[in-house]
Amino acid sequence: MKIGITCYPTYGGSGVVATELGKELALQGHQVHFISYAVPRRLTQYHENIFFHEVEFSNYPLLEHSLYTLALASKMIEVIEYEKLDLMHVHYAIPHAASAYMAKQILKKNKTDIKIITTLHGTDITLVGLEPHFLPLVKFSIEESDGVTAVSRFLKEKTLTNYNIEKDIEVIYNFIDTDLYKNVENDSFKNYVAPNGEKILMHTSNFRPVKRVVDSIHILSKVKKQIPAKLVLIGDGPDRSECERLARELGLQKDVFFLGKQDGLTDLLSVADVFLMPSQSESFGLSALEAMSCGIPVVSSSVGGLPELIVHNEVGFIAEIGDINRMAKYTVELLTNEKKYNSFSRNARERALNNFDKKLIIPQYINYYEKILNS
């Protein structure tokens, strides 16, 4: 197959999944064409069968805002026609599915047909897409896609309910390379963060308000009253300054490590004892899966698709949004009960291996591609 993939190339679960999917498809002999305004961050080296097409948009004085949606549609038309693509797989409903629909309608005039598959990842449905001025466009883009997938059952049901549509949506969970995400020795970093053997809590995100990163700092404050602990925060975004201020206010500036955006997460995750995900909204929770694959138990909020990933009292604990007292209690319970901790650690790794390994999920995408192409 010749497959076009469009995603946001920056940090974020949707871009990670789209890029890793493309890399795996290429390894299996399919030709993959990424179409975006920048090279995806996970596309760090040359891969046979992978090609990148940059979307360029003009800065004309008359146009105050960039016309990315139109420029993307134009580039899609060019690549589809020239490369003879079989299908376009777009990640996020807006603007990508809208651009793909536009490209498809124009190509019909040239007697060229292209199948469009849209993967819904979360905020395009649960936040941005519910804005009144976007809602009709999101609904239309989903309905007009030849195939639609969602990364959790929660997101599928939310989509059908929020947009009042009747669409056959396939649930294909996010996946992980369990050969890459596994526990590795990193004594130098561990000793740097916890020189006296303190327990290490960890959180990674884009520091948006929906991630409730400040809750992680409050959890640390409560955990520290019972056991020595440190907190490592990975990522960056609008709430970072507030998190730094709170750490200073609580006297935790020496116990909270802000690492910013990082690649090579495996080495960092491996030093963690517990992974925290106190999010307000989470359609799947890819970073929690990455931690689980490294054998790290997760303490999270019970929102969205997280209960589909994190089996309560088996691989971690889930609590109500904002219930930092219970999350802290669960964290202490894990860190003070070695037998339970080791059991949760094994269960977390096994759940990642047996349910979310790329070897299990990639074939589901290929089967879905073939189903849509033959429909």
Ranges of each domain in the chain: 2-174+357-373, 187-355
Architecture (CATH level 2) of domain 2-174+357-373 = 3-Layer(aba) Sandwich (3.40)
| C-alpha closest to that of 298 among 254, 261, 345, 332 | 345
Residue 123, SS3? Answer: helix
Give how far Cα 305 sits from Cα of 152, 205, 225, 286, 334, Å.
6, 16, 31, 10, 23
Degrees to nearest 5, angle at CA 233 with 193 and 188: 25
**Selection from 19, 90, 25 nearest residue 263 by Cα:** 19
> H or E element: which one contains 266?
helix 265-269
Q: Which CATH class is domain 187-355?
A: alpha beta
Better pLDDT: 59 or 113:
113
CB atoms within 10 A of CB 354: 10
Residue 287 vs residues 142, 173, 202, 279, 293: alpha-carbon distances, Å? 26, 13, 11, 12, 10
**What is the pLDDT, as a whole number, of residue 187?**
87
The three-class DSSP label of residue 320 is coil
- Lateral strand order in the sheet of 31-36: 50-54, 31-36, 2-6, 87-91, 115-120, 147-150, 169-171
Distance between first and last Cα of the chain = 16
Q: Choose between 266 and 131: higher pLDDT.
A: 266
pLDDT value at residue 129:
45
Q: Which DSSP symbol is given to 45?
A: S
Tokens coding 371: 């189903």
Provide the whole-model pTM. Answer: 0.90
Contacts of 363 (CB under 8 A, 6+ apart): none
The answer to whether domain 2-174+357-373 and domain 187-355 are alike in fold is yes
d(CA 325, CA 211): 17
Residue 128 has pLDDT above 60, yes or no: no
Taking residues 149-175, what's their average pLDDT? Answer: 92
Question: Do 34 and 49 meet the contact criterion of CB atoms below 8 Å apart?
Answer: no
Q: What are phi and psi of 339, to 5 degrees?
A: -65, -45
E-only strand ranges, 293-344: 298-301, 316-319
Q: Is the pLDDT of residue 337 over 70?
A: yes
Lowest average pLDDT, out of 264-268, 286-290, 291-295, goes to: 264-268
